[in-house]
Structure 1
Amino acid sequence: MTQVPVLLVETVNGVRTLTLNRPDRLNAANDDLLYALTVALRAANAEDAVRVVVVTGSGRGFCAGQDLGGVSGRNMGFTEHLQATYNPLIRTIRTLDRPVIMAVNGVAAGAGASLALSGDIRLWAQSARLIEVFSNIALVPDSGSTWFLPRLVGYNRAFELMALADTVTAAEGQRLGLCEQVYPDETFAADVQAYAERLAARPANALKLTKQALSAALTSSLDDALDQEAALQQLAGDHWEHAEGVTAFKEKRAPDFRKQG
C-alpha cells in the first residue's frame, strides 16, 4: 500500500508551494510533518529557481496544531519536544532568504496559529479562523506565538486572545493586522498564486536583505538599525539587481529582476 505523503511540493513560475497533507486531521502536526516541512523549506532556500515559498494546507484546515495522539505516552518533556520540532521550523521560516507566504485556508489553532503568524506575508481565505487554543488545555502558547502576536496586536489584545482562546475570523484578523489580504474561498488558491508570482518578480536579493533588516530592527535600537541599514544598503547597491533597476528606470521600462546581470 502506497503511503500518502504528509507534505506536497509543487513549483510554478518561481513559487514553491508546500502543502500540509493530513486533511483527515485538519493537518494537525506530527513529527513526520514538522520534519518534512523544515527540510522542504531548507531545500527551497538552496534552489535559485525558487523565489517565493508558500505554505498552505490541504482540505478544510490550515493546521489544527499539535496532533496530541502523536505525543501521548511519549517519554519526552514539552521542552525537549519543542526544541526538536517546532522551534527549528519557526527559526527556519524566519531566517529563510526567500519570502515566505502563509496561505491560511481554514482553521489555524495552537501551534498551527503560531505557524500562520510566522510568515513574511499572511494571506487568508474567508473561511480562515485563528485560535490561540493553548489555555483550553492549560498550556502556554508556544512555537513563537508569544513573540509574534503581541508585536501584531499589542500586549493586552494578545493576552486576551490567549487567555480566552477566542476565535478570530478572517475579517477580524485583517482588521487586527494578522493578515495582509483576505480572498474568497472559491478563488483562494489562484489568488495566492497570483500574489506569490507578483512577489517572485521583485528583486530577490533586495528582498532577502530587507527581511534581514526588518528582523534585526525588531530587537535593536534606532542607532543599530541605522548602522544595519547602511551595511545592507551597500550589499544591495553592489548587486546586479540595482544596476538593472537603475537602467530600467532610465530606459523607462519595467525592470527584469529574474535575469542575471
Structure 2
Amino acid sequence: MSSNDLEICKRFAAERAVLDREFKGNVVVGIGSGSTVVYVTKCIAETITRMNKEAEKDGRKPDLNVTCIPSSFQAKELILRNNLNLGSLESFPLVDWTIDGADEIDSQNNIIKGGGGCHTQEKILASCSKELYIVGDYTKYSPKLGTNWKKGIPIEVIPVSYVAVKRKIECRLGGEVLLRMAVMKAGPVITDNSNFIVDWRFPEGIDNWKDIETTLKMIPGVVEVGLFIKMAIKIYIGNEKDVKIYDFSPSNE
C-alpha cells in the first residue's frame, strides 16, 4: 500500500473517532500528537463549523463551546492552525475526552507511544481525561507488541541519568537501550520537557506489560514510559475500506 493510501486509512480512523463523539454545550477535548491527529483536529474544526451553521440556519444561537488541550508543541500548533480554542490543564484539569495516535497497539489494549517524543505529556493528558480514544492506520495494530514496531519502548529520562538508566534496564530486563539521537542536529533528541529519550528494544516473549511498566517507572531518573496499558476506551483502526473499532469500555469487558 502506498503512503497516500495509508494517509487515507488514517483519515478514515480520525474522522470516525471524531464523528462518534458528542459535541454539546461546553466540551473540553484533549488533542494528542502524531500524523493521524492532523486529521483529528481538522475534523473537529469542520464539525464545530457545521454545527454552528446548522444552529444559525434553524434560527438558534450557537451554544457550542469547545476547548482543546494540547499534548505537545505540535498539538498546540494544530489547534491554532485550525482556529480552535486553546486551553491548558492548569485551567481545565478534567478533560471530557482525548483522541490520540499510537505507534503500536496489541489485541489486549496495550499501546506503545512516544515515537514522536511526546509520551509524557500525552500520558498526563490521558490520565486527566474521562475517556481516551486511540486512532491509527492498520499497520499500527499487532497481535502482540513488537510485531511491527521495532524501535522499542520510548522512555523519557533526566539527562544526567541516562547511562545509569540504560545499565539498570539492560541488567534487569535484558534487551538493548539506545539513546535517541536527533536527525537534523548533532546530539540527542530533546523533549518538550528538556529531557532525553532512550528506546528500549525489549527481548521477545514479554507479555506482563503492566509489571514491566511499573519496573521501568521505579528506576530513578525515569520520567515516563511510553506504555499505555489498558487506558483506551475504544481504538479506531482505519483500512482501505472502512474502520475497525475495538471496544474496551467497561460494559464490554
TM-score, normalising length: structure 1: 0.28
**Structure with more of its chain in helix, by fraction:** 1
Q: TM-score with structure 2 length normalisation?
A: 0.28
Higher strand share: 2
Q: Which has the higher contact order (CA 8 A, sep 6+)?
A: 2
